[in-house]
A and B are shown apart, each in its own frame.
Chain A
Amino acid sequence: MMRVVVVGAALVVMMLGWGVGAAWASDGEIAVGSKKFTESVILGEIATQLLKDAGIPTEHRRELGGTRILWSALLGGDIQVYPEYTGTLEQEILAEENVRGEDALRAVLRARGIGMSRPLGFNNTYAIGMRKDRAQSLGVRTISDLVTHPELKFGFGNEFLDRGDGWPALARTYGLPQRDVRGLDHDLAYRGLESGAIDVIDLYSTDAEIRHYDLAVLVDDKQHFPRYDAVWLYRLDAPAGVAEALAAVEGAIDEETMVALNGRVKLDRVAESRVAADFLADLEGMVTSDRLVDAPDGWSRLASRTWEHLGLVLVSLLAAIVVAIPLGVVSAVKPRFGQLVLGVVGVLQTIPSLALLVFMIPWLGIGAKPAIAALFLYSLLPIVRNTYSGLHDIPTPIRESAEALGLPSRVRLFKVELPMASRSILSGIKTSAVINIGTATLGALIGAGGYGQPILTGIRLDDMALILEGAVPAALLALLAQGAFEWLDRLVVPRGLRIRPEN
């Protein structure tokens, strides 16, 4: 049995290798990362085009979740460049070191092998905003004015809720009494504000929506928020010329420009690559033809996402099957070991999926590999448990008949016990498959692509059609999987077990 487990583990490693090698091969020498909000994606696109112009093959790994994912990926060498903000570096990434000021930051980063450019020119700090009409009627102009309105409902981005300079610190600085504080996606917060479901949200001061929704930005009268100057972070071991190429936009993007760029993407629905190309054309007074990659048409886009999504689900599921069935078999034979195994895979299941994805990055980097590993771990429990219970529930007379017949244990397992447990095992695999198809959409947060990508972009751009472009195929795939397993049931479960005795 041990041998089966070892062979299984080897197969898993091979499949992981295949998955990463085949479907997600990267073509650039340099990878630029960006976070999952529009400004970061535009800046990532600008960096990518600058580097390409400098003759450095570059790919843009866009919309990779949040700060922690990008920072880990930069340290791990999965990406070489990404846009960051000094405030985030001070308050969050290097919060323990208590560094203040550009030069100090640069020195601390250098010690970790990371370079930091000069500021790009705009300060995208956090700000607190309300609808202008509501602010005027309540007479709220500064953050301090909020103290006298404890009934106001606050809705903050999840990142703002738990960062060093976020809500808890803000409440302390100003002595804010509000208790109705909800965490929600930054892009959804604007909708809540518009509908009146919430009164106060956090903003980025370069958000295009400020003008669009006619919002009042409350004055930070106690200067709570630090500066969030945009800078490039890059690995010092990146190829020569990278830092020089990126330096072309130092001090070149002021706040007004950034708001306009954001507005073109979010409000006018222009592609980030186009917006970035136009900006660089204005800046340098020239247009390079190879800057713009034509967006693939709908069908081929759908096909490649389906391919990515299926890759994530199938590779992780196959690996889980190969590992979980032997684990379930051993668990059924050795009860002590079984308790241990069921306990461990049970605990794995309780780790929130996003957290599990982030845990994987230091080992496996970003992209498909960590996503497959996380999905693999999630798939284990249903299969192990159903294999175990399927074997455990075989009636004693039948188990003993096989033994009394003098069948070798291997024959008993493969000819009697596993076939009898097949229905239970198959339904465990089905559970895993369906869960996997849903959970794999989160893979987009760490650059694994799949149906999660349009969902992610759709949420960011507040584009329902784009969200559906991911959500509908994912739901269809889940349904398809259900159907496929019904058919497999007929194929795999022996006919004798499917007969219903007529009484």
Chain B
Amino acid sequence: MLELSGVSKAFGRLVAIRPLDLLIPPEQTTVLIGPSGSGKSTLLRLMIGLATPDTGTVSIGGTRVTRETVRELRRKLGYVIQEGGLFPHLTARANVTLLARTLGRDPGWMGERLSELCRLTHFPEDAMHRFPLELSGGQRQRVSLMRALMLDPDVLLLDEPLGALDPMIRAELQSELREIFRSLKKTVVLVTHDMGEAALLGDDIVLLRDGAIVQRGRIEDLLGRPADPFVTAFIGAQRSPLDDLARRNEP
């Protein structure tokens, strides 16, 4: 679905991404994980064209991302970032519908779609007239997710969507996200620091260090057959990843 080949990126003398190939398979969730500064966000920004690779190519559904194609391609992608990036001067509803209105979508259709998304994200529909500053952090992330889903994109790119939330809301949203990803069968790329979150949501986990892929596989592979001592060290550094994992993996 999403393919990076030979992609690298440097900021001045700082190499953020070393030349790498990465294929994101459709209809499953791929998690990018790694320590701070390892290049997770940069990789995501390369996918959506907010950064351009120094070498290599990025393509989405077979179309190469270029200056000419990027705007059309972005409409097939949904992008959610840590603080939501909601437009503060627009209400929740206006945030979610801005692109649809720009594209001249039918208002009736938009209304139905909004109700559907509110149900999906457990967002109270009567709060849609509020401005971002009048919403809680968790609600803002729900609105941000609705905005990303509005035009039913094929791919969702989520950069630490739950990073700024308190643990309770975070846990709640984690399970909701899992339901949403399952039911919608989207291609999802999710960035996180949290191994527990990766294990819960990811079908496939990509562990990064210093702009390179250290290991890729299912959580069991990372735990059972670490490709590098760093993998074990990284997992070990998480607070209680194994207990957490054991609890959540029980049906």
Q: Which residues of A contact B (CB under 8 A)?
A: 397-398, 400-408, 411, 415-416, 419-420, 494-497, 499-501
Contacts and interface: CB of A to CB of B under 8 A. Distances in A.
B91 A411 contact: no
Contact of B89 (A400, A405, A406, A497): A497
Contacts of B133: 496, 499-501
Contacts, number: 70
B88 A398 contact: yes
A419 B88 CA distance: 10
A17 B98 CA distance: 41
Contact of B99 (A397, A405, A420, A501): A405
Interface string B67-101: 00001111101010111011111110000001100
Given A404-B48, A420-B87, 12 more contacts: A400-B85, A401-B79, A404-B77, A405-B147, A406-B71, A406-B75, A408-B102, A496-B89, A496-B90, A496-B91, A496-B132, A497-B88
Contacts of A500: 133
Question: What is the size category of the interface that chain B forms with chain A?
Answer: 20 to 34
Contacts of A495: 89, 131
A398 B85 CA distance: 5
Contact of A494 (B71, B85, B86, B90): B90
A401 B143 CA distance: 13
Interface in B91-137: 91, 98-99, 102, 131-134
Contacts of B246: none
A401 B85 contact: yes
Contacts of A407: 98-99, 102
A420 B87 CA distance: 9
Nearest to B87: A416
A494 B75 CA distance: 26
A496 B48 CA distance: 28
B225 to A, nearest CB: 36
Contact of A408 (B71, B77, B85): B71
A415 B103 CA distance: 14
A497 B132 CA distance: 10
B98 A496 contact: no
20 contacts: A397-B81, A398-B86, A398-B87, A402-B87, A403-B74, A404-B48, A404-B74, A406-B71, A406-B73, A406-B99, A407-B98, A407-B102, A408-B71, A411-B98, A411-B102, A494-B89, A496-B90, A496-B91, A499-B133, A501-B133
A404 B134 contact: no
The 6 lowest CB-CB distance pairs between A and B, nearest first, are: A401-B85, A406-B74, A496-B131, A494-B89, A404-B79, A406-B75
Contacts of A402: 87
B88 A397 contact: no
Q: Which of A398, A404, A501 has the most CB of B within 10 A?
A: A404
B149 to A, nearest CB: 12
A136 B86 CA distance: 83
Contact of A499 (B48, B85, B134): B134
Contacts of A499: 131, 133-134
B74 A401 contact: no
A496 B72 CA distance: 29
A397 B72 contact: no
B50 interface: yes
B89 A401 contact: no
A403 B88 CA distance: 16
Contacts of A420: 87-89
A176 to B, nearest CB: 66
Nearest to B44: A404
B87 A406 contact: no
Interface string B26-53: 0000000000000000000000101000
Contacts of A497: 88-89
A496 B88 contact: yes
Nearest to A419: B89
Contacts of B73: 406
B89 A397 contact: no
B71 A397 contact: no
A3 B77 CA distance: 32
B81 A401 contact: yes
A397 B147 contact: no
B163 to A, nearest CB: 12
A408 B134 CA distance: 28
Contact of B74 (A405, A416, A419, A496): A405
B246 to A, nearest CB: 36
Contacts of B134: 499
B79 to A, nearest CB: 4
A226 B79 CA distance: 83
Contacts of A400: 50, 81, 85
A328 B191 CA distance: 37
A415 B87 CA distance: 10
A405 B79 contact: yes
A410 to B, nearest CB: 10
Contacts of B82: 397
A184 to B, nearest CB: 52
B89 A403 contact: no
Nearest to A396: B85
A106 to B, nearest CB: 70
B83 to A, nearest CB: 6
A404 B87 contact: no
A495 B75 CA distance: 28
Contacts of B132: 496
Contacts of A406: 71-75, 77, 99
Contacts of B74: 403-406
A95 to B, nearest CB: 61
Contacts of B88: 398, 420, 496-497
A424 to B, nearest CB: 13
A404 B72 CA distance: 11
A493 to B, nearest CB: 8
A397 B102 contact: no
Contacts of B87: 398, 401-402, 416, 420, 496
A405 to B, nearest CB: 5
Most interface-central of B50, B72, B87 (chain A CB within 10 A):
B87
A400 B147 CA distance: 14
Contacts of B90: 494, 496
Counting chain B CB atoms within 10 Å of each CB, which of A398, A495, A501 scores highest? A398
